[in-house]
Chains A and B, each alone.
Chain A
Amino acid sequence: MKKEKAMLIDRYLAGEAPLHPERLVLPTDEELNETEIEFDQLMAERLQNTTPVRNARIISLWSWAAAACVLIIIGIGIILLWDKPSQPVKIVAKQKPAKTIVAPNAPSGNMLTPIEDHRDKPMNLAKVKQSVPKTPSREEERLDIPEIDIAAEVSDILANIDQLEQQIIVTNPQNNN
């Protein structure tokens, strides 16, 4: 018994006794034609079924791309707005209005001493440079510094000076002479 079994197995292992000889039988022309038609039909059906899926995939890809573009544009816009340098702020040192000084030897407390007029004197450039404020740093720029109207300030000062001059003239008419 065992010998017979061993012989069968040996024949199979040697390739002399195939398990499925029907697998090697050539199909007839009719069978081949039939399967060829079925193959082509199935392939056509699959192609039809897969086409819309492909389109949907492409559309979804496009929508993703569009969304990504919008996000990128928004991001760039935010960065540009955030880093945009603020317009240079005009900072002018406030000049204190000329003080009215009461002369110590004046007959009455209301008497005022004349104030020197420096407008005709040559300017000391070194002092002017020191008085000019430095260009504001980036951090200073970000601070909320209110703008100062220089023209108004200067005109106020000049008006004050004129007033003082007139007062002096009124109080000490002999000086004018």
Chain B
Amino acid sequence: MKAELFTSVVSRLRPRLLSIASSFDTVNAEDAVQEALMRLWTAWERLPEPADAERLAVRLTKYACITDYRRRQKQQTVELKDVAAMETTDTTDETVIQYALEQAVAALPPAERRLWTMHAEARMGIVQIAAASGISSRSVSTMLSSARHHICEILKKGDLL
């Protein structure tokens, strides 16, 4: 399907996905929908019909809810990996930068983090992000530049930039 169709289909579909995710977990519903729409975007060109996209989006939302639920269950039993230990065992530049970037993204405000993830991870354009998040394109570009600014500041503080 064409990329232009993504915005119209997703704009229509988003409230339904959000309600499914909210019924499972109100707090993390937005994150689950974002995850599902990112995956939907990557598979978009291969989908033949909008109906298939809708079906897949619902299933992907449920998948995102369950994987997040499982991750949280795991976190309760297993201790998180110690940062110091990670740095001593694997100190390549790439992993250090990756870790620093992860920390910087995690420090962003939730709304900014969601938009940034769609941009940086799924390579979604401003229009697609706007449709997937329910925010206007202008606000999306403003929030993305703000997120970029925050990340750069955090990296500068960590002497990585």
Contact = CB atoms under 8 A, between A and B. Distances in A.
A140 to B, nearest CB: 68
A5 B93 contact: yes
Interface string A5-37: 110110011011011110111110001100110
A19 B120 contact: yes
A151 B120 CA distance: 109
Contacts of B35: 23
Contacts of B127: none
B101 interface: yes
Contacts, number: 76
B65 interface: yes
Contact of A26 (B42, B66, B97, B119): B42
A24 B122 contact: yes
A39 B65 contact: yes
B120 A4 contact: no
A1 B67 contact: no
21 contacts: A5-B97, A8-B94, A9-B97, A12-B97, A13-B151, A15-B119, A16-B123, A18-B123, A19-B101, A23-B35, A23-B39, A23-B121, A24-B121, A25-B39, A26-B39, A26-B42, A26-B43, A32-B60, A35-B59, A39-B24, A39-B62
B63 A27 contact: yes
A155 B120 CA distance: 114
A19 B66 contact: no
Contacts of B120: 12-13, 15, 18-19
Interface string B28-69: 000000010011001100000000000000011011011101
Contacts of A20: 121
Given A5-B160, A13-B148, A26-B43, A39 B101 contact: no
A141 interface: no
Contacts of A23: 35, 38-39, 121
A36 B59 contact: yes
Interface of A: 1, 4-6, 8-9, 12-13, 15-16, 18-21, 23-27, 31-32, 35-36, 38-39, 42-43
B102 interface: yes
A5 B161 CA distance: 8
A9 B101 contact: yes
Contacts of B23: 43
A38 B59 CA distance: 12
A43 B35 CA distance: 20
B66 A24 contact: no
B101 A32 contact: no
B65 A9 contact: no
A31 B105 CA distance: 28
A15 B38 CA distance: 13
Contact of B93 (A8, A25, A32, A35): A8
Contacts of A6: 161
Nearest to A10: B161
Given A9-B155, A35-B63, A18 B121 contact: yes
Contact of A1 (B93, B152, B161): B93
A5 B97 CA distance: 7
